Amino acid sequence: MTGPVLGPDGLRRCAWGESTDDYRVYHDTEWGRPVHGDDALFERISLEAFQSGLSWITILRRREGFRAAFAGFEIAKVAAYGPAEAERLLLDTGIIRNRAKIEATIANARAALELTGGLDALVWRFAGDPDRPAPRTLEEVPAVTPESTALAKELKKQGFRFVGPTTAYALMQACGLVNDHLAECHVRGQRPT
């Protein structure tokens, strides 16, 4: 069983958060903390989609490249991308050059523009139970939940792509819709609401 690990700084973390310096910073300052705002959530949905089939560290280390390539993930700007921008992105070594994922990101921006009430309102409707018991080991953390399945279904209904239940749950974890920091992880109690 993989419980929290003690880092060289004397703090207990979810084991994955202690595996690299990049992960440690992401774990301690960002993962699991509430994210609001349509553009901010669009960035996270986009990055989670690009991560599909890859390791998160690959995406995390290219995050600034993604931000530059996709206009800071401003929904209106990305929604205006056409074939020329898609072709340009296929040549951009700062991102993952996958045509289906690039086209999905552009399509998702267009879908986000059409949402009544905005992306933030849609995503946060599916927040998990804040009183759910804290997982004690990584093995207790699910890959999919009924909420992530419902979120994925709603996003797909609204025209989003690359948003299956597992990707939706990773989004929920990363954006603080659920708190999957382990019970003894130092970040768990710091999490702002």
Query: Known catalytic residues?
Result: 26, 48, 56
Show the 3-state SS of 75-93.
HHHHHCCCHHHHHHHHCCC
Residue 36, marked binder = no
Residue 185, marked binder = yes
Residue 181, marked binder = yes
Question: Going by C-beta distance under 8 Å and a sequence separation of 6 or more, which residues neighbour residue 187?
Answer: 13, 14, 17, 27, 28, 31, 32, 181
Residue 175, marked binder = no
What is the rounded CA–CA span in Å between residue 37 and residue 40? 5
Mark residue 133 as left, alpha or beta (left: phi above 0; alpha: psi -120 to 50; beta: remaining): beta
Binding residues: 14, 27, 181, 185
Binding residues for Zn(2+): 14, 27, 181, 185
